């Protein structure tokens, strides 16, 4: 058996395949988990073998699609609800309703966590997102209201806020404020590295209600606007969860972190945490075409100066990639703006090519934003020395994208090529 081990070792080295240590017990433990919510977070970090072997740089994907609601947004939904409960804004099993405007993932996560915790859910969605997301939401018992695609005024968010206020007994989450404790300059103490942060501590101020009002409010249904774009609970879900997990999983041996931005919670929360712990780490934005964030990061202007001023723009970007790319600076994105070092603009054709490439080489069936992230990882890897390591987010799976991003018919109708040789060229350039 020793010779088998040696043969394997030789085979591994020749193919530049990393030796994966045995999975630590904290990740997906063998213990019984506490309901569906117990499954949220602590996702594995997958070495993407095809890309890593071709590049000589480890590309590590955080498998967020393994969360029970199917995406990275489960963490956010849970943190938003828990923080609201801590503030006395929500009480379970009182008929209280969560309202949110979303392209899908956040809604599905709010509906999943909401069901598990005893809340109803009402989701406002643009009418051009993949239909399977609406179907999942309805199966989860959420009420779905569809609006025309978001315009210069973000209609789905505004309508969600309006509906929450109409429902009544609604207190909006406090206006955003930057937490002074999240200063990037301070390096983590060695003792902090690799340890879970205490998820029960909350930076959100606690609203103290007069004691006499408490019992009445606890039984009355409340409307609650989750407000994922501005609500900093989103940032903290990643600052206290995704970031520390990646640091622990890589033992701090990491050179870059790549992420797209929809609300900006992932890149800001994870990025600020990782940068604080690893000051030399590069934080890189992957941005689909048509999004203003690329210009903001590269040139500190939101739009191409050649564009006529005052031109009407959709806040939601016109691309087959769903969930990332936006044309305004949200509160959650702004918390990470200072720590983003670089950005790549990814075309629909590149994202499509990457998704097909990963299925055929790795058996990985991913959604559009994950594919964008991995194109950016490849571009970035080309600028790093061999042996470097890049982590990114595998936000959701392809099953959420069958009728658009994964539909060959839809792509053909919209003149988006399906050509995996784009990735071969990228890898060999």
Asked if 87 interacts with ligand PMP (CB under 6 A), we say no
Strands of the sheet containing 120-126, edge to edge, are: 143-147, 120-126, 97-101, 223-225
Q: Give the residue with the Cβ less far from ligand PMP, 90 or 267.
A: 267
Q: How many residues bind ligand PMP (CB under 6 A)?
A: 17
Choose one: 50-58, 262-270, 287-295, 308-316; the region binding ligand PMP (CB under 6 A). Answer: 262-270
| Tokens standing for residue 374 | 């991995």
Asked if 231 interacts with ligand PMP (CB under 6 A), we say no
Q: Give the residue with the Cβ less far from ligand PMP, 54 or 63.
A: 63
Choose one: 89-97, 136-144, 247-255, 261-269; the region binding ligand PMP (CB under 6 A). Answer: 261-269
Subset of residues 199 to 218 that bind ligand PMP, contact rule: CB under 6 A = none
What distance in Å separates the CA atoms of residue 228 and residue 102, rounded to the nearest whole number?
Answer: 9
What distance in Å separates the CA atoms of residue 211 and residue 208, rounded to the nearest whole number?
Answer: 8
Asked if 286 interacts with ligand PMP (CB under 6 A), we say no
What distance in Å separates the CA atoms of residue 212 and residue 79, rounded to the nearest whole number?
Answer: 28
Asked if 232 interacts with ligand PMP (CB under 6 A), we say no
What SS3 class is residue 79? helix
What distance in Å separates the CA atoms of residue 273 and residue 332, rounded to the nearest whole number?
Answer: 14
Q: Residues 296-325: x/- map of binding to ligand PMP (CB under 6 A)?
A: ---------------------------xx-
Residue nearest to ligand PMP (CB): 323
Q: Give the residue with the Cβ less far from ligand PMP, 84 or 372.
A: 372
Residues 6+ apart with CB under 8 A from 54: 427
What distance in Å separates the CA atoms of residue 239 and residue 245, rounded to the nearest whole number?
Answer: 10
| Tokens standing for residue 3 | 């010779």
Residue 49 and residue 364 in contact, taking contact as beta carbons nearer than 8 Å: no
What distance in Å separates the CA atoms of residue 347 and residue 401, rounded to the nearest whole number?
Answer: 17
Subset of residues 316 to 375 that bind ligand PMP, contact rule: CB under 6 A = 323-324, 367, 369
Asked if 262 interacts with ligand PMP (CB under 6 A), we say yes
Residue 114 and residue 120 in contact, taking contact as beta carbons nearer than 8 Å: yes
Q: Give the residue with the Cβ less far from ligand PMP, 54 or 160.
A: 160
| Tokens standing for residue 202 | 């909350």
Residue 380 C-beta: closest distance to ligand PMP, Å:
18
What SS3 class is residue 425? helix
Q: Give the residue with the Cβ less far from ligand PMP, 55 or 101.
A: 101
The residue to which tokens 């191409």 are assigned: 304
Q: Give the residue with the Cβ less far from ligand PMP, 55 or 293.
A: 293
Burial 312-328 (b: 16+ CB within 10 A, else e): ebebbbebbbbbbbbbe
Asked if 395 interacts with ligand PMP (CB under 6 A), we say yes
The secondary element (H helix, E strand) that includes residue 342 is: strand 342-346
Q: Give the residue with the Cβ less far from ligand PMP, 71 or 277.
A: 71
Q: Give the residue with the Cβ less far from ligand PMP, 59 or 366.
A: 366
Q: Residues 96-115: x/- map of binding to ligand PMP (CB under 6 A)?
A: -------x-x----------
Q: Residues 27-66: x/- map of binding to ligand PMP (CB under 6 A)?
A: ----------------------------------------
Binding-site member from 233, 266, 291, 327 for ligand PMP (CB under 6 A): 266
Binding-site member from 260, 290, 292, 325 for ligand PMP (CB under 6 A): 260
What distance in Å separates the CA atoms of residue 126 and residue 146, rounded to the nearest whole number?
Answer: 5
- The residues with which 143 forms a beta bridge, in sequence order, are 122
Residue 227 and residue 360 in contact, taking contact as beta carbons nearer than 8 Å: no
Binding-site member from 41, 101, 265, 271 for ligand PMP (CB under 6 A): 265
Q: Give the residue with the Cβ less far from ligand PMP, 357 or 405.
A: 405
| Tokens standing for residue 415 | 């003149």
Q: Which residues bind ligand PMP (CB under 6 A)?
A: 71, 73, 103, 105, 260-266, 323-324, 367, 369, 395-396
């Amino acid at each position: 058996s020793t010779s088998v081990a040696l043969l394997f070792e030789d085979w591994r080295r020749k193919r530049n395949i990393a030796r994966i240590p045995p999975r630590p017990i904290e990740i997906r433990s063998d213990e019984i988990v506490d309901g569906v919510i117990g499954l949220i977070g602590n996702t594995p970090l997958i070495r993407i073998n095809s890309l890593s072997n071709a590049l000589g740089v480890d590309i590590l994907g955080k498998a967020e699609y393994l969360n029970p609601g199917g995406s990275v947004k489960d963490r956010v939904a849970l943190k938003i609800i828990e923080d609201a409960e801590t503030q006395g804004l929500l009480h379970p099993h009182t008929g209280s309703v969560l309202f949110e405007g979303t392209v899908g993932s956040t809604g599905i996560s709010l509906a999943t966590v909401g069901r598990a915790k005893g809340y109803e859910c009402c989701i406002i969605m643009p009418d051009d997102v993949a239909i399977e997301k609406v179907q999942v939401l309805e199966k989860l018992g959420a009420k779905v209201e569809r609006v025309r695609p978001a315009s210069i005024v973000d209609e789905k968010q505004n309508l969600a806020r309006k509906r929450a206020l109409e429902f009544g007994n609604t207190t909006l989450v406090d206006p955003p404020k930057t937490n002074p404790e999240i200063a990037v300059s301070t390096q983590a103490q060695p003792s902090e590295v690799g340890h879970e942060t205490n998820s029960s501590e909350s930076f959100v101020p606690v609203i103290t209600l007069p004691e006499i009002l408490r019992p009445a409010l606890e039984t009355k249904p409340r409307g609650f606007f989750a407000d994922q774009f501005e609500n900093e609970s989103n940032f903290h879900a990643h600052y206290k969860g995704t970031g520390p997990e990646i640091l622990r999983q890589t033992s701090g041996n990491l050179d870059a972190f790549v992420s797209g931005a929809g609300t900006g919670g992932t890149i800001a929360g994870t990025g600020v945490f990782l940068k604080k712990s690893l000051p030399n780490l590069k934080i890189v934005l992957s941005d689909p075409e048509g999004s203003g964030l690329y210009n903001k990061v590269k040139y500190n202007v939101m739009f191409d100066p050649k564009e006529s001023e005052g031109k009407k723009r959709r806040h939601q970007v016109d691309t087959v990639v769903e969930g990332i790319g936006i044309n305004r600076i949200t509160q959650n994105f702004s918390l990470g703006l200072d720590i983003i070092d670089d950005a790549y603009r990814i075309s629909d054709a590149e994202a499509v090519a990457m998704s097909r490439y990963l299925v055929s080489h790795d058996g990985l069936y991913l959604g559009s934003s994950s594919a964008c992230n991995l194109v950016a990882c490849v571009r970035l890897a080309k600028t790093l020395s061999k042996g470097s390591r890049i982590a990114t987010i595998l936000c959701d799976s392809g099953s959420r994208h069958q009728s658009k991003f994964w539909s060959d018919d839809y792509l053909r109708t919209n003149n988006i090529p399906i050509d995996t040789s784009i990735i071969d060229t990228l890898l060999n350039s």
